[in-house]
Amino acid sequence: MDLAAVLMLEVLNGIATLVLISVGLAIIFGMMRVINLAHGEFLMLGGYAAIVATNHGVNIWVAMLVMAPLVVGVIGVIAERLIIRVLYGRMIDTLLATWGLSLFFVGIVTTIFGNTVAGIGAPLGSVGVGRYNISVYRLVLVGLAAAILAVIFIVLRRTRLGLIARGTMENPNMAAALGVSPPRVYATTFGVGAALTGLAGGLLAPISGVLPTVGAAYVAKAFITVISGGTAILAGTAAASTLFGSVNQLLTYFTTPVIGEAGLLAAAILLLRVLPHGITGKLFRGSL
Amino acid sequence: MIGGRWSPGIVLTTVAMVGIALGVPQVVDQFGLLQLTVFAAMCILALSLGFVWGYGGILCFGQSAFFGLGGYTYAVTAINVGESTLATILAVVVPAVFAALLGYFMFYGRLSDVYLGVITLSVTLIFFNLMNSTAGDAYRVGKARLNGFNGMPSLPTLNVPGDPGRLLDPAETFYLVMAFLVIVYVGLHGLLASHFGRVVVAIRENETRCELLGYDVRLHKLLVFTIGGGIAGLAGCLFANWGAFVSPNVFSLTMTSQIIIWVIVGGLGTLLGPIIGCLIMQYLATTLGTQQLANTNLIFGIIFLAFVLLVPRGIVPSLRRLGARAVGPARVRDLA
């Protein structure tokens, strides 16, 4: 019974992690159709921002929830202004340029912090479930992942800002004719996506630690999740995270972490063979 | 050279490569020769992506997966059999079969460019993680221990077929690698000049139109991908041979991005371009590797960005365009 509860929590955690690492990409790639291969490095930068801030005496929650998204959001806006903007509509070029950007970030962070793992202790301690100890922070993470999805949903569905963003992505010319400035909307949306990614990076830093090349571990998973999710970015990301998170964690529990990762990929390839347009290409159509 | 015509440029390049192959061992020392051998092996790898991406229009981020698979296949077979001929053949066949399998899911699922890139990238990363986790005695294939992140050292190197005691010396290995490079270069041009090659290029130009004309787009792409996988496997085999060593780093992101950079820098849609790009970047990486001033990733990232934003066509097509302007439009097609 205890074991079942712990396993259940492991699965929830796997799902929450996937939601966190993919949600920023769901905005940048899912909504804006910008292939951002530097996504993993955005997560890495968020992690470093949180760690550096904490080590300089900032409260860990402030560091994770405020500093990380702020820093990465600003970096995102700068990257959008300097590089992405030139390449809208040229998908392959964007992909290559952001790959270059990712190498650049890895290089510069290695130069500054060195090629070692940095980390901070997870706050909140742990509680006992029967014979097992589980970290409270991991529980909080599940709640935060759900909250982030809810906030994005409300912003996109219920606010004027969300309406403008969705409209501009749908038809930039029409939006411009109605008095919206598409370049500004693009920059803002990209910045928000980057900030969410930074937030995720900060939140994951106490759990997985950060090193300059950690992005590689995230970027493929994030893309797989968003692509498999399909057109409805939020429902899709949530559905794909649930599926892959469960597969990954259960396989990891019964075999090894590497088999878990391979299983995640195999599940994704099979899924895309059956549903080339992702989960929400067939199910939950018309949701957000 | 857009579709598949033989031009003076191809002949010239081939002659130059043969000349280098025969002349270089007479003038450079042992160290230089070893260096050039690995450059040539990498050129074969660059050609594989130059073919798959530049002509097949398939953006593959997983070329290093096939490269590494070739290296590991060679290592495992050579250790078990003790003779390199079968190992070399398998090092081409196994990655090609894997490419075919992966390609089947991707092309017959009709995934678009971008998804292809992401799937192939994740396959590479999975291989990297998988191989890194094979440390310990439990992970062995026959006599060969996989050794996880430490890699497999002191592999048996190439021998004269049928005579395991007679290993190739560095000069002979160089001849062999150059021979493979010339064969792959000429072979790919031959393939592109054939009916099959023309259809492949036509598919790159307009997939829907080819489909409506009755060509099986999925099958052609699958074949291109498989051939590319096999060539990358060959390069991996030669690379493993060169250092008598193979480690999970062959699957690393750095490796993958290097291959893409070679092709971008050299130029898409040519076969000479990837070779030139590979030589330039390899030279640069070797030089940068010996200094402490700046991180190699940092410099590569900047070069990558600069080329995508400023010279998107790459060196060879840009030079060709300049040359064409100088000699007049009638001679454009003769400049391979």
Tell me the pLDDT band of B67, cut-offs 50, 70 and 90.
very high
Of residues B111, B113, B304, nearest to A276 (C-beta): B111
Q: Which of A40-49, A201-210, A225-234, B268-277 has the lowest mean pLDDT?
A: A225-234
**Amino acid, res. A191:** G
Q: Choosing among A90, A99, A111, A265, which should be mutated to test the B contact, i.e. which has the most B CBs within 10 A?
A: A99
Task: State whether residue A217 sits within 8 Å of chain B by CB.
Answer: yes
Phi, psi for residue A116 in degrees, rounded to 5: -130, 160
Q: With CB atoms and an 8 Å threshold, state whether A104 touches B301.
A: yes
pLDDT at site B332: 47
Number of domains in chain B: 1
Q: With CB atoms and an 8 Å threshold, state whether A107 touches B294.
A: yes
SS3 at position B254: helix
Residues from chain A contacting residue B253 (CB–CB below 8 Å): 213, 216
Residues B197, B4 contacting (CB under 8 angstroms)? yes
Task: Give tens-digit pLDDT for A227-252.
Answer: 888 778 888 888 888 888 888 888 88
Of residues B118, B260, B297, nearest to A223 (C-beta): B118
The neighbour count for residue B142, using CB atoms within 10 Å, is: 10
- The pairing of strands B140-141 and B144-145 is antiparallel
User: Does a structural domain hold residue B324?
Assistant: yes
User: Does a structural domain hold residue B137?
Assistant: yes
**Does residue B297 carry a pLDDT above 80?**
no
Min Cα distance A11 → chain B (Å) is 21
Percentage of chain A lying above the pLDDT 70 cut: 96
pLDDT at site B90: 93
Q: Which of A50-59, A129-138, A177-186, B67-76 has the lowest mean pLDDT?
A: A129-138
Of residues A35, A261, A268, nearest to B129 (C-beta): A261
The average confidence (pLDDT) of chain B is 84
Please name which of B322, B327, B326, B320 lies closest in space to residue B1, comparing C-alpha atoms: B320
Task: Identify the residue with better confidence: B231 or A227.
Answer: B231
Task: Give tens-digit pLDDT for B91-136.
Answer: 999 999 999 999 998 888 777 777 788 788 888 888 887 888 777 7
Task: Give tens-digit pLDDT for A77-111.
Answer: 998 988 888 877 777 788 888 888 888 898 888 88
Q: pTM surpassing 0.95?
A: no
**Does residue B198 carry a pLDDT above 80?**
yes
Residues from chain A contacting residue B301 (CB–CB below 8 Å): 100-107
Q: How far is CA A142 from CA A8, A200, A203, B247, in A?
A: 12, 12, 11, 37
Task: State whether residue B222 sits within 8 Å of chain A by CB.
Answer: no
SS3 at position B78: helix
Rounded Cα gap, residues B142 and A238, in angstroms: 44
Task: State whether residue B260 sits within 8 Å of chain A by CB.
Answer: yes
Min Cα distance B138 → chain A (Å) is 14
Which residues lie below 8 Å from residue A14, measured CB to CB, with a gap of 6+?
A245, A246, A248, A249, A252
User: Does a structural domain hold residue B142?
Assistant: yes
| Predicted complex ipTM | 0.72
Min Cα distance A156 → chain B (Å) is 26
Please name which of B104, B82, B94, B163 lies closest in space to residue B127, comparing C-alpha atoms: B94
Min Cα distance B238 → chain A (Å) is 27
Q: How many CB pairs under 8 A join A and B?
A: 118
pLDDT at site A265: 80
Of residues A83, A104, A265, nearest to B123 (C-beta): A265
Tell me the pLDDT band of B3, cut-offs 50, 70 and 90.
very low
**Does residue A179 carry a pLDDT above 60?**
yes
| Rg of chain A taking only CA atoms, in angstroms | 19
Rounded Cα gap, residues B236 and B234, in angstroms: 5
Residues B314, B302 contacting (CB under 8 angstroms)? no
How many helices and strands in chain B, by DSSP H and E? 13, 4
Q: Which residue of A has its CA nearest to B104?
A: A273
In the block, tokens 């994770």 appear at: A64
pLDDT at site B307: 86
pLDDT at site A256: 77
Q: With CB atoms and an 8 Å threshold, state whether B111 touches A272.
A: yes
User: Does a structural domain hold residue B1?
Assistant: no
Q: Choosing among B102, B308, B309, B310, which should be mutated to test the A contact, i.e. which has the most A CBs within 10 A?
A: B308
Of residues B59, B122, B133, nearest to A265 (C-beta): B122
User: Does a structural domain hold residue B15?
Assistant: yes
Task: State whether residue A195 sits within 8 Å of chain B by CB.
Answer: no
Rounded Cα gap, residues B67 and B236, in angstroms: 4
Percentage of chain A lying above the pLDDT 90 cut: 14
Residues from chain B contacting residue A223 (CB–CB below 8 Å): 118, 121-122
Please name which of A246, A14, A247, A16 lies closest in space to residue A141, comparing C-alpha atoms: A16
All structural domains of chain A with their residue ranges: 14-214
pLDDT at site A119: 75
pLDDT at site A278: 76
Question: If DSSP states are collapsed to H, E and C, what string results for chain A?
Answer: CHHHHHHHHHHHHHHHHHHHHHHHHHHHHHHCCCCCCCHHHHHHHHHHHHHHHHHCCCCHHHHHHHHHHHHHHHHHHHHHHHCHHHHCCCHHHHHHHHHHHHHHHHHHHHHHHCCCCECCCCCCCEEEECCEEEEHHHHHHHHHHHHHHHHHHHHHHHCHHHHHHHHHHHCHHHHHHCCCCHHHHHHHHHHHHHHHHHHHHHHHHHHHCECCCCHHHHHHHHHHHHHHHCCCHHHHHHHHHHHHHHHHHHHHHHCCHHHHHHHHHHHHHHHHHHCCCCHHHHCCCCCC
Rounded Cα gap, residues A246 and A136, in angstroms: 20
pLDDT at site B168: 81
Beta partners for residue B7, in sequence order: none
The tokens for B241 are 């041979």
Rounded Cα gap, residues A53 and A70, in angstroms: 12
A21 alpha-carbon distance from chain centroid: 3
Domain of residue B245, residue span: 8-334
User: Does a structural domain hold residue B3?
Assistant: no
Tell me the pLDDT band of B222, cut-offs 50, 70 and 90.
very high
Q: Per residue in B212-238, is it b (16+ CB within 10 Å) or e — as a string?
A: eeebebbebbbbbbbbbbbbbbbbbbb
Min Cα distance B142 → chain A (Å) is 21
Average pLDDT over residues B267-280: 89
The average confidence (pLDDT) of chain A is 84
Average pLDDT over residues B159-174: 80
Task: State whether residue A269 sits within 8 Å of chain B by CB.
Answer: yes
**Does residue B233 carry a pLDDT above 90?**
yes
